[in-house]
Structure 1
C-alpha cells in the first residue's frame, strides 16, 4: 500500500556566517491515510523544519535542499509548480502552527480568516459562513456566531490555538500537519482537542503528522513514532515499541525526563510570608461593541481571591484558559492594578507606592512570560537582552563583568555562550523561552512569577530548567508563582496549589493534599484529564 506521504532522504541546509547549518540530514519517514505519526525531539532537532518543507514554507534561498523527495500520493512536492501547490495546500494538506498569535492576522476577525481558506478553494460565501460557526462550536469556542466577529487579541492563548485548528480542518484535508497543536492548552481542553482530531481522522481517513515534545500526547494519539536528534532520525517504530522499549540512548533520556515521575516536591518553605493577596478582584468594564447600541457586560477576570505565600514556597496556579491565572500573575507583578483588594509584598502594599519604592520592588520581583516571541526585543542581541536589567539597575553588576555573567546564565539554562551574539529570530521557540528565563535570573530576584514558563520546552530541556529552578530555590531561597497547565510537572515542582475556575479559587492547599485527596469536582476533572490520577481515584 502506497503511503499518503513519504519523505525520502531529505536534507535541508542553511548557509550562515559561521558556516553551513545542517538542519535536516538524510531524513526519511512515511505516514499512511488514517494514521498518526508523531515526530519527537528537542528544540532544534529539525522536526519542524522537515514538516514545514512538506507545505513549502521554507524559503529557498536562503535554505538549500540538496537532496530528497517529498511524495504526496506518489507525486514529488519538491518538483510541484506554484499552481499545483495552491491546489494542494489548505485543501489536501493543512497545517496547525505552533504560534497562533503569529499565524493569525491581527486586523481581520477570526471568522473571516477561517472562511478565507474555503473561499480561496471556491466555497460559496454563505456555505463558508455556516461552516465557520460549526467549526468554532466543534473546537469549543462558546457563542460562535458572536465570537466569529472578534479579533485574535480578544481571545486567550488556548482559544487562539483552537481557532487555528478550526481553520486547518475547514476543508477536511487528507493530511494534517500539527506543530505542537496542544502546547498552549490546559489539560481538559487538550484532551478535548486531541479527541476531536482523532474523531475527524476517523471520519475522513485523514493522515496526521504530529510534531510535539509532550510524550503524554504521543501515548494518547500516535500510531507510530519517529525520534529526531540534531537533524537526523535516531529511532522509529510503533508507539508502543518506542515508548515502552526505546533502543537509542537519546530516546531513553527523553522518556526519563517525563514529568510526574519524581514524586512530590518536599522543599519546605521558610518562615514568614513573602506575598499576601487579600480580596483581590479584576473587573474589566464593558466596552461599546463596534456597530452595536449596547455595551458588553463587565467581566470579572479575577473574583475575590485571597491567599498567602511563604518565603521559599513554590505556589502553582492551575486552571483552564480564561480562569484568571495570567491576570492574577500580572497583578502580583504590578503590571495591572486590582479593581478591588490589596496585594502586599513582604508586608508592604504594591499599590500606591512612590516611584523610588516601585523601582526597588521591581528588582526583587521578576516575570517569565508565556510567549517568548512577544517578550524579547527582535532588534536586540541575546547579550543586550539579558544585560538590559543591569543597565536599568547599574549597582547590581559592573559593566566589565556583563559578558562573562551572560555566558554563565546562558549555560545555566542549557544554551551556549556564543549564542549571546545572535538575535531572537535565530532560535527555536523553546530556545527563546530559555533566553527569557536567563533574563529573569539576571537580577537574582526574591520572587519569580512564571506564566507557563516551560510549556514551550521539550521534556528533556523542561526537566533541566525545572532542576535549575529547584537549585535556585534551594541555594538562594527563591520563591515562585508558577502558572501552569501541566499537572504532572506541578506535582514534581510545586509545594502548594491554587485551583482557579471562572476567576475564583475553588481549591487550595499543599500539593500532597490536592493531588492525594481532591475535594472539588473541577479539581478532580483536571487531574483525570491530565492522567496524573487514575479515573477511579477521582
Structure 2
C-alpha cells in the first residue's frame, strides 16, 4: 500500500536581513497507516518547520517553499485549495503543538475549545459535549464534567498539554502530528499518554509523526526514526537500528547525551540558604466570588518544610498538579503562602520593604517553564538579556552590555548574532536558552528552574546542565530544580523532594532516595522513568 503521508524533496526558506535562511533542505520521509515515525534533532534543525508545512501553518510569503511535495493519500497538500485544507485539517490530519499555553485561547473554557473542532466539522453540540467529557477522562483530567468549564490558566503546564492531546484526537484523525507532546508531562502521565496514543493508533490505524528530543519516548513508541541536523536528514532507519547502531556522528552524540548515566552529585554541606517551614497555599476559601460559584478551596501546597544549603541543588519532582510550581513561585515571592514562613539567607521574604525586595530579587532569579510567555515579543534578545542590568545599573557598565550578552548566548549554545533577533524567530528550545541566559545575567546566588530544560533536545540539555554545574562550582550557585525528568534530576541534583497532592512524601540525598525509596509513589516514579531502584548494600 502507498504511504499515508509522503514528504518528497521538501525545502523551506525564511527571509532575514542576512538573506534566506534554509530551514529545511531537500527533506523526504514517509509514514504509513498504523505506523509511528519519530523525527529527532536539535532545536532549529527543521523538525517543527517540516510539520508546520504539512499543516499549512507556514505563511508564504514571507516564507518560500521552492520545491517539494506533501502527498496525503496521494493528494499534494501544497497545491490544495483553502476549502480542501479546511476539510482535511483537524479531521483527517491533526496536530499537538509544543506550546499549549500559546495554542489555547485564554478567553474560552477548555471544554468549549475542544468541542470547537467537532462543531466546525458538523458534530452536534450535545454529542460534542459528551465527547469532551470522555476525552478529558481518557487523558487523565480528574472530574472532567467540572473541569471542562475551567480556563487554560487554571491548569498546570502538564495538564494543558493533556488538554491539547484531547483536542487533537477528538475526531479520530487518520494522521496525528505530535510536536513534543510529552515534554511538559511528568513520567507517570507521560507513560499513560503514550499508551493512550498507541491505543488510539491501534483502534483507528492512525499514522503518527512524533517530533521529539526525548530518546526514551522514541524507544518506547517509534517504529522508524529520521534524524535531522541543520535542516537536512542525516540518518534514518528503524527505531532499533538507529538507537542501537547509529551510523552518523551526530546521532551518536545525541545518544551519548541521554541523562541518567552520570554518577550522583556530592551532598552540599554549606550554610543554610533557604528555609521553608510549614508552608501551605490555599486557592479559593471564603471569598464571596468563590462561594457564589460553589467552588471548593484547593490546597495546592500542604504543610511543606525543608532546608537547603548554599551550593546545593534541590530537585523537586512529582506529577503535574502536585504543587511543585506553586512552591517555586512562593520561594520567589511571586505568590504569598497562606501559612508558614520562607526565609532566604535567614531573612523572611514575606513583608519585605520595597528596597529589601529589590535587593533580594537581584540574588534570586527564575527560569520559567514557558519561555514564550516569559519573553517579551516586542524586545530583541539583546534587550531581553540586558534588561536586568537596566534595572540594576551598578552591575555592569552599559558599554559592556553587548559583549556580555554575546558571552551569555554562547554559554547557552546560541550565537552572538542572535542578539538582534526577536523571540518568535526561534524554536521553543532556543527560546528557553534565551531565558536561561537572562537568569544568569545578574550572577544570582539562587536560581529557581521550573522545568527549565524540558523544552531542550538532549544534546543541548546536557550542555546546559554542564553549564549550570560549572556555575555552581565556580560561583557557589544554588538551584531549586523543578523537573519531571527523574534521570536528569539524578545527574544534576544533590538532594530531592518528592511531592504528591501538595505534600512532601519523601526527601533526602539523591543517592539515598533513588537507591532505596521508601514511599510507594517514589517507587512508581522511578519505575516509570526506567530507573528501577536498587536497594543499597
The interval holding the TM-score normalised by the smaller chain is over 0.9
The CA deviation string for residues 68-124 of structure 1, in whole angstroms up to 9 with x for no partner, is 111111111111111111111111111001111111111111111111111111111
Instruction: State the secondary structure of the residue aligned to 2:442.
Output: coil
Separation in 1, partners of 2:443, 2:344: 16
Corresponding residue number in structure 1 for 2:140: 140
Corresponding residue number in structure 1 for 2:156: 156
Moved more, 379-388 or 20-29: 379-388
Corresponding residue number in structure 2 for 1:467: 466
| Contact 1:314 1:480 survives alignment (8 Å) | yes
Separation in 2, partners of 1:444, 1:293: 47
Separation in 2, partners of 1:249, 1:31: 25
Instruction: State the secondary structure of the residue aligned to 1:307.
Output: strand
Q: What is the deviation of 1:211?
A: 0.2
The CA deviation string for residues 416-445 of structure 1, in whole angstroms up to 9 with x for no partner, is 111111111111111111111111111111
Query: What does 1:149-298 correspond to in 2, within 5 Å?
Result: 149-266=149-266, 268-286=267-285, 293=292, 295-298=294-297
Q: What is the deviation of 1:339?
A: 1.2
Query: What does 1:93-492 correspond to in 2, within 5 Å?
Result: 93-266=93-266, 268-286=267-285, 293=292, 295-492=294-491
Q: What is the deviation of 1:532?
A: 1.5
Instruction: State the secondary structure of the residue aligned to 2:90.
Output: coil
- Superposed CA RMSD in Å reads 1.5
Separation in 1, partners of 2:534, 2:509: 22
Structure 1: any 5+ residue segments left out of the alignment? none
Structure 2: any 5+ residue segments left out of the alignment? none
Q: What is the deviation of 1:129?
A: 1.2
> Structure 2 vs 1, CA of residues 289 and 131 (structure 1 numbering), >3 Å: closer, same or farther?
farther
The TM-score with structure 1 as length reference comes to 0.97
| Contact 2:332 2:366 survives alignment (8 Å) | yes
Separation in 1, partners of 2:174, 2:168: 11
Instruction: State the secondary structure of the residue aligned to 1:403.
Output: helix
> Structure 2 vs 1, CA of residues 310 and 150 (structure 1 numbering), >3 Å: closer, same or farther?
same
| Contact 1:369 1:450 survives alignment (8 Å) | yes
Separation in 2, partners of 1:87, 1:477: 57
| Contact 2:516 2:534 survives alignment (8 Å) | no
Separation in 2, partners of 1:390, 1:124: 56
Separation in 1, partners of 2:451, 2:131: 33
Separation in 1, partners of 2:483, 2:209: 26
| Contact 1:5 1:71 survives alignment (8 Å) | yes
Separation in 2, partners of 1:169, 1:288: 38
Q: What is the deviation of 1:536?
A: 11
Instruction: State the secondary structure of the residue aligned to 2:484.
Output: coil
Structure 1 position 17 matched with structure 2 position 17: yes
Separation in 2, partners of 1:388, 1:293: 42
Corresponding residue number in structure 2 for 1:80: 80
Corresponding residue number in structure 1 for 2:54: 54
Q: What is the deviation of 1:294?
A: 5.1
> Structure 2 vs 1, CA of residues 353 and 191 (structure 1 numbering), >3 Å: closer, same or farther?
same
Q: What is the deviation of 1:143?
A: 1.0
Q: What is the deviation of 1:482?
A: 0.3
Q: What is the deviation of 1:296?
A: 1.3
Separation in 2, partners of 1:463, 1:289: 49
| Contact 1:288 1:294 survives alignment (8 Å) | no
> Structure 2 vs 1, CA of residues 100 and 339 (structure 1 numbering), >3 Å: closer, same or farther?
same
Q: What is the deviation of 1:5?
A: 0.5
| Contact 2:515 2:535 survives alignment (8 Å) | no
Separation in 2, partners of 1:402, 1:344: 33
| Contact 1:288 1:296 survives alignment (8 Å) | no
Separation in 1, partners of 2:319, 2:456: 20
Instruction: State the secondary structure of the residue aligned to 1:491.
Output: helix
Q: What is the deviation of 1:534?
A: 6.5
| Contact 1:9 1:69 survives alignment (8 Å) | yes
Q: What is the deviation of 1:292?
A: 8.2
Matched residue count? 536
The CA deviation string for residues 274-295 of structure 1, in whole angstroms up to 9 with x for no partner, is 1111111111124779898453
Moved more, 354-363 or 498-507: 354-363
